[in-house]
Amino acid sequence: MGSRFRIGIDLGGTKIEGAAIDGGGAVRVRRRVATPTGNYHATIAAIGTLVRMIEGEIGAAASIGIGIPGTISPATGLVKNANSTCLIGHPLQPDIEAALGRPTRLANDANCFALSEATDGAAAGLPTVFGVILGTGVGGGLAIDGRVLLGANAVAGEWGHNPLPWPAAAEIPGRRCYCGRYGCIETFLSGPGLSADHLHHTGQRLSPAAIADGAEAGDAASSTTLERYMDRLARGLATVINLVDPDAIVLGGGLSGIAALYERVPQLWPRYVFSDQIVTRLLPPAHGDSSGVRGAAWLWPPDERS
């Protein structure tokens, strides 16, 4: 369509965010609507409303990229692996293209995050970048030479549903995960996983932010919980380093705001990584909450005209 605008949409569990990115990579318009939780057809309608709202403001049609929870199965064309389970089993791409009246690119939200941070974010210019979402769920995506690695089954980077490595006896079998297995990394490293772990050890029901704040203020129980969390994160990331050996790991999602992670986790991961020296950098996101929509917009790369 030759437009200089790209619209990126981040389809989340509670909100759908959209932004128009101009030819220079700047966000020009940003809007959000609530996700019609649990309702597939209403979710598609809400995306259509959001796109029309944004295009009305920029006064032009744009290319559309959408970051989704889960991924499109190459085998069936249907959504799989989404923690927003109402999407699972639906032909989301053709349904959205019919609603928007144009070709639309969809990709896993963690892949969009990795693409954003590798394109012009915290890891700009680095050849191998692992992007991690630590939020309501745990996801991951790989950007190699500025392109997302999709994989034969479209699950490359999905470390959240690997088991927690080097588990202690008390970590086995772990909590049940929505994917049907027990002890997935997601059940330990998601926000709800952190809160559940603190509750289990202390009887206190605290949000992840309250636990992080407590640890920073010197509260012993919160410090112990956060240290346990950071050791688990170090173990999970060590397996990624052993397998992919990225130049940088960029954290995103709500828990990426915990400043202690960036200092402490690299102190812990040498216990687990199979290397004498570790030069992999652990970085906070340069674009914060905007990375999801930016990466979705970059599904239509600047050097490609449609």
Taking CB under 5 A as the binding criterion, the range among 69-77, 173-181, 197-205, 288-296 that sits at the site for Zn ion is 173-181
Is the Cβ of residue 65 or residue 157 nearer to Zn ion in the bound state?
A: 157
Residue in 61, 69, 96 with CA at minimum distance from that of residue 12: 69
List the structure tokens of 68: 């989704």
Taking CB under 5 A as the binding criterion, the range among 38-46, 60-68, 105-113, 159-167 that sits at the site for Zn ion is 159-167
The answer to whether residue 148 forms part of the interface with Zn ion (CB under 5 A) is: no
| Nearest-approach distance from CB 137 to Zn ion, in angstroms | 9
Residue in 122, 128, 144, 160 with CA at minimum distance from that of residue 250: 122
DSSP per-residue codes, 181-198: -BSBHHHHHSHHHHHHHH
Quick check: 20 and 7 in contact, CB under 8 A?
Answer: yes
| Nearest-approach distance from CB 169 to Zn ion, in angstroms | 21
Residue of the chain from 179, 196, 209, 210 that contacts Zn ion (CB under 5 A): 179
The answer to whether residue 82 forms part of the interface with Zn ion (CB under 5 A) is: no
Residue in 185, 156, 188 with CA at minimum distance from that of residue 196: 188
Is the Cβ of residue 189 or residue 293 nearer to Zn ion in the bound state?
A: 189
The answer to whether residue 47 forms part of the interface with Zn ion (CB under 5 A) is: no
Instruction: State the Cα–Cα distance between residues 42 and 306, nearest whole angstrom.
Output: 29
Evaluate the CA torsion angle 162, 124, 256, 111 in order and state its sign: negative
The answer to whether residue 161 forms part of the interface with Zn ion (CB under 5 A) is: yes
Q: Which amino acid is at 23?
A: G
Residue of the chain from 19, 148, 184, 189 that contacts Zn ion (CB under 5 A): 184
The answer to whether residue 189 forms part of the interface with Zn ion (CB under 5 A) is: no
**Cβ neighbours, 10 Å, residue 120:** 16
> If DSSP codes are grouped into helix, strand and coil, which group holds residue 249?
strand
Is the Cβ of residue 185 or residue 255 nearer to Zn ion in the bound state?
A: 185
Instruction: State the Cα–Cα distance between residues 38 and 162, nearest whole angstrom.
Output: 26
Taking CB under 5 A as the binding criterion, the range among 100-108, 183-191, 219-227, 285-293 that sits at the site for Zn ion is 183-191
**Rule CB under 5 A: which of 222-261 touch Zn ion?**
none
Alpha-carbon 301 to chain mean position? 20
* Contacts (Cβ under 8 Å, ≥6 apart) of 191: 134, 135, 136, 207, 208, 253, 254, 255
Taking CB under 5 A as the binding criterion, the range among 126-134, 177-185, 209-217, 248-256 that sits at the site for Zn ion is 177-185
The answer to whether residue 88 forms part of the interface with Zn ion (CB under 5 A) is: no
| Nearest-approach distance from CB 183 to Zn ion, in angstroms | 9
The answer to whether residue 177 forms part of the interface with Zn ion (CB under 5 A) is: yes
| Nearest-approach distance from CB 12 to Zn ion, in angstroms | 19
Residue in 164, 165, 147 with CA at minimum distance from that of residue 156: 147
Taking CB under 5 A as the binding criterion, the range among 69-77, 121-129, 161-169, 192-200 that sits at the site for Zn ion is 161-169
The answer to whether residue 212 forms part of the interface with Zn ion (CB under 5 A) is: no
Residues found near Zn ion in the complex (CB under 5 A): 161, 177, 179, 184
